[in-house]
Amino acid sequence: MDGITFFEASEYSSNLRCTVQRSGRIGFTDFTQKKLGINENITVKIGIDGTKDSFQHLIFQFLEGKESGGFKINKAGNYYYFNPKALLDELNIVYTGKNIIYDMAPLNSEMKIYKLIKKENKVNNT
């Protein structure tokens, strides 16, 4: 029928997510890795929506290749991660003793820029 658009359910089966692990590494769900094409040739730049002392959200930009000022993606098995531990410490993001889960909302899909939204009450304290 004209004027009707159908969507592929598999493209909307999950939210884009990442986890700040107790070690200070940031890893991605399998769905996020596939949807964003995350691999070892990607660099992640981290920004914030304010100043170091006053911000609400981390901002990620995923770039192809080795970009100056970005964090290199590493691989362990089928899992991709990067290690911004020192930056997280400087931003006073407390991750030790717990994992922090974030939904990733697109700010500019074309430029692969995403805002991280902390999942409240979804923290693993075990």
The structural domains of the chain, with segments of one domain joined by +, span 17-107
| C-alpha–C-alpha distance, residues 84 and 77, integer Å | 20
Query: 73 by DSSP, 3-state: which?
Result: coil
CB within 8 Å of 57: residues ≥ 6 apart: 48, 49, 115, 116, 117
Digit-coded pLDDT (tens) for 1-16: 688 988 887 766 668 9
Strands of 58-64's sheet in order across: 71-72, 42-48, 58-64, 113-118, 100-108, 17-20, 26-28, 79-82, 74-76
Digit-coded pLDDT (tens) for 57-89: 999 999 999 888 999 999 999 999 999 999 999
User: What is the pLDDT, as a whole number, of residue 63?
Assistant: 96
39-44-50 Cα angle (round to 5): 155
Mean pLDDT score, 88-101:
93
| C-alpha–C-alpha distance, residues 114 and 124, integer Å | 23
Query: With the C-alpha atoms ordered 47, 23, 92, 27, is the resulting torsion angle positive or negative?
Result: positive
